[in-house]
């Protein structure tokens, strides 16, 4: 028996590491178990952080190549240094995962390297790479084992030519032709990285739209902007197979509904990005009697507890959006609940950001959600073409949309397509968290000239009239 704890967290992604740190801050004796060589989970190692490092660097490359000239900045001899760009990504990841290790030490969170398996309530067995095992005793267990990429039946991933996001972030040369399966968040972000660096990118999407679940108008405008940048997007199309026998990958695609002829698209690399599924392999959940929901996610109650007392779950492994900040907030909530406080997550106000250029950011309800709920609402919109700062920066693509209750004026949702949308969306998020109205936002003085003035003017448009349109 290796030790006795108040809490053992399995998995150190944004859900697990934040939960462990918060619980330790609140005075609990905490241990974490992680099977990866470094902490931080999908997000820090192979997800949010490396993808944003490459998104930023590739955007700088594209700006230097195409954007600077219109600002009167001429560059000659522009060259891509892909190993240098990958080194920037690796350094960024290292700084972040080392940061988590430092925070564990600082907060006296004990760490165990190995695969965790639940041996009933109160017991976690940790098996190291060498096969040796030890058992931790604990009052509570939090499952924070995250998710893994979903596959296309019959398509084998080798992470070299047919890749998931993990392989797509590691490519050592720019593929001449990249085919992306799935026009979701990963497909559009990583597709944008390689298009900016020179790939011809074709995105094949099963549905008749990109970014399912997001406001329709936002998805349509974003699709138009991505197409203008040179990304080919084929909607209502499915991949039926990939022939990997030759030097070119031969990707067979057919209409999603089964009518019409199929075609073959040649590619050098195929990125499969059709969603992620909860990761619960080898955790001993069945033996422990832990129940799943209808989509193989760990089923929890409103306090994140499974049907087995003392076993909790958070993050990608349970229901809800598969987002790092959602996992983090659930981690904090569970730590607070276990410490006798009233932890809570407001699922009405979880922002979602796609880090393309322009960025696409949403929070709260979409128009479609409000229509489906029968809510009477009003819409205020404002385009960045009418914003002085956007013009000065040469980033006039996109718009802001504010949705407010028709009677009470309470803001129910918002969406921004534009440079820096992922930062600006929090203005609407904070407003919603405080139950604010579009008039509250419209009457708040905003610094000039800023992109955020467009958010204010959209709020003005919802209630009365914007000044600059």
Spatial separation of the C-alpha atoms in residues 258 and 224, rounded to whole Å? 26
Segment contacting ligand NAI by CB under 6 A, of 56-64, 241-249, 287-295, 348-356: 348-356
The strand pair at 110-113 and 115-118 is best described as unpaired
Does the footprint of ligand NAI cover residue 204 (CB under 6 A)?
A: yes
Is 243 marked within a binding site? no
431 interacts with, out of ligand NAI, ligand FAD, none, CB within 5 to 8 A per kind: none
204 interacts with, out of ligand NAI, ligand FAD, none, CB within 5 to 8 A per kind: ligand NAI
Spatial separation of the C-alpha atoms in residues 262 and 430, rounded to whole Å? 48
274 interacts with, out of ligand FAD, ligand NAI, none, CB within 5 to 8 A per kind: ligand NAI
Is 301 marked within a binding site? no
Give me the sign of the Cα torsion angle 30, 35, 38, 42. Answer: negative
Contact predicate 31/3, CB 8 Å = yes
Roughly what angle, to the nearest 10 degrees, separates helices 453-463 and 421-433?
A: 50
Instruction: Quote the least distance from Cβ 87 to ligand NAI, whole Å.
Output: 22
Does the footprint of ligand FAD cover residue 324 (CB under 6 A)?
A: yes
Is 460 marked within a binding site? no
Token digits of residue 465: 């009239």
Task: Dump the DSSP string for 265-320.
Answer: EEESEEEE-S-EEE--TTS-HHHHT--B-TTSPBP--TTSB-SSTTEEE-GGGSSS
Output the CA–CA distances (angstroms, integers) from residue 155 to 114, 124, 257, 270, in the order listed: 30, 35, 20, 10
Is 135 marked within a binding site? no
Active site residue 448: yes
Task: Dump the DSSP string for 189-230.
Answer: HHHHHHHHTT-EEEEE-SSSSSSTTS-HHHHHHHHHHHHHTT
14 interacts with, out of ligand NAI, ligand FAD, none, CB within 5 to 8 A per kind: ligand FAD
Spatial separation of the C-alpha atoms in residues 156 and 167, rounded to whole Å? 13
Is 187 marked within a binding site? yes
Token digits of residue 11: 């998995």
24 interacts with, out of ligand FAD, ligand NAI, none, CB within 5 to 8 A per kind: none
Q: Find the binder of ligand FAD among 53, 214, 267, 322 (CB under 6 A).
A: 322
Instruction: Quote the least distance from Cβ 443 to ligand FAD, whole Å.
Output: 32
Segment contacting ligand NAI by CB under 6 A, of 74-82, 99-107, 183-191, 412-420: 183-191
Q: Find the binder of ligand NAI among 99, 212, 241, 284 (CB under 6 A).
A: 212
Spatial separation of the C-alpha atoms in residues 332 and 320, rounded to whole Å? 16
Spatial separation of the C-alpha atoms in residues 378 and 191, rounded to whole Å? 35
CA angle (355 as vertex; 91, 384 as ends), nearest 5: 135
Instruction: Quote the least distance from Cβ 184 to ligand FAD, whole Å.
Output: 10
Instruction: Quote the least distance from Cβ 126 to ligand NAI, whole Å.
Output: 28
Q: Find the binder of ligand NAI among 23, 283, 323, 327 (CB under 6 A).
A: 323
Instruction: Quote the least distance from Cβ 60 to ligand FAD, whole Å.
Output: 18
* Residues found near ligand NAI in the complex (CB under 6 A): 152, 181-187, 189, 204-207, 212, 238-239, 273-276, 321-323, 353-355
Q: Which residues are annotated as a binding site for FAD?
A: 52, 116, 145-147, 316, 322-325
Catalytic residues: 448
């Amino acid at each position: 028996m290796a030790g006795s704890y108040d809490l053992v967290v399995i998995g150190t992604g944004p859900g697990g590491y934040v939960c462990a740190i918060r619980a330790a801050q609140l005075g609990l004796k905490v241990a974490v178990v992680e099977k990866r060589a470094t902490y931080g989970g999908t997000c820090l190692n192979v997800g949010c952080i490396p993808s944003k490092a490459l998104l930023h660097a590739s955007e700088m490359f594209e700006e230097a190549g195409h954007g600077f000239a219109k600002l009167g900045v001429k560059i000659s001899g522009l060259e891509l240094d892909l190993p240098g760009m990958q080194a920037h990504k690796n350094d960024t990841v290292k700084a972040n995962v080392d940061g988590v290790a430092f925070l564990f030490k600082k907060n006296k969170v004990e760490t165990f390297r190995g695969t965790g398996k639940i041996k009933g309530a109160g017991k976690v067995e940790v098996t190291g790479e060498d096969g040796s095992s030890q058992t931790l005793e604990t009052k509570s267990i939090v499952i924070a084992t995250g998710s893994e990429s979903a596959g296309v039946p019959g398509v084998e991933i080798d992470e070299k030519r047919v890749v998931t996001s993990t392989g797509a972030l590691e490519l050592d040369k720019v593929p001449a032709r990249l085919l992306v399966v799935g026009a979701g968040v990963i497909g559009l972000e990583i597709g944008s990285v390689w298009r900016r660096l020179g790939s011809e990118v074709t995105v094949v999407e099963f549905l008749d739209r990109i970014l399912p679940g997001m406001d329709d108008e936002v998805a349509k405008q974003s699709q138009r902007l991505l197409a203008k940048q040179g990304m080919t997007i084929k909607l209502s199309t499915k991949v039926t197979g990939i022939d990997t026998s030759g030097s070119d990958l031969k990707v067979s695609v057919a209409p999603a509904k089964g009518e019409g002829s199929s075609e073959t698209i040649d590619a050098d690399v195929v990125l499969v990005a059709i969603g992620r599924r909860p990761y619960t392999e080898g955790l001993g959940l069945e033996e422990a009697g832990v129940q799943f929901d209808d989509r193989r996610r760990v089923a929890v109650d409103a306090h994140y507890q499974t049907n087995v007392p003392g076993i909790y779950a958070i993050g990608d492994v349970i229901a809800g959006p598969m987002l790092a900040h959602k996992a983090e907030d659930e981690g904090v909530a569970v730590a607070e609940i276990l410490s006798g406080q009233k932890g809570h997550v407001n699922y009405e106000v979880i922002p979602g950001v796609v880090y393309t250029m322009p960025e696409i950011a949403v929070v709260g309800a979409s128009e479609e959600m409000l229509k489906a709920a029968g809510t009477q609402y009003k819409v205020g919109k404002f385009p960045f073409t009418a914003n002085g700062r956007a013009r000065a920066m040469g980033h006039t693509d996109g718009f802001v949309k504010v949705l407010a209750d028709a009677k009470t004026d309470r803001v129910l949702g918002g969406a921004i397509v534009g440079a820096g949308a992922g930062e600006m969306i929090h203005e609407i998020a904070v407003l919603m968290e405080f139950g604010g109205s579009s008039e509250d936002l419209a009457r708040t003085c905003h610094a000039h000239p800023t992109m955020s003035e467009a958010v204010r003017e959209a709020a003005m448009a919802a209630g009365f009239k914007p000044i600059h349109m």
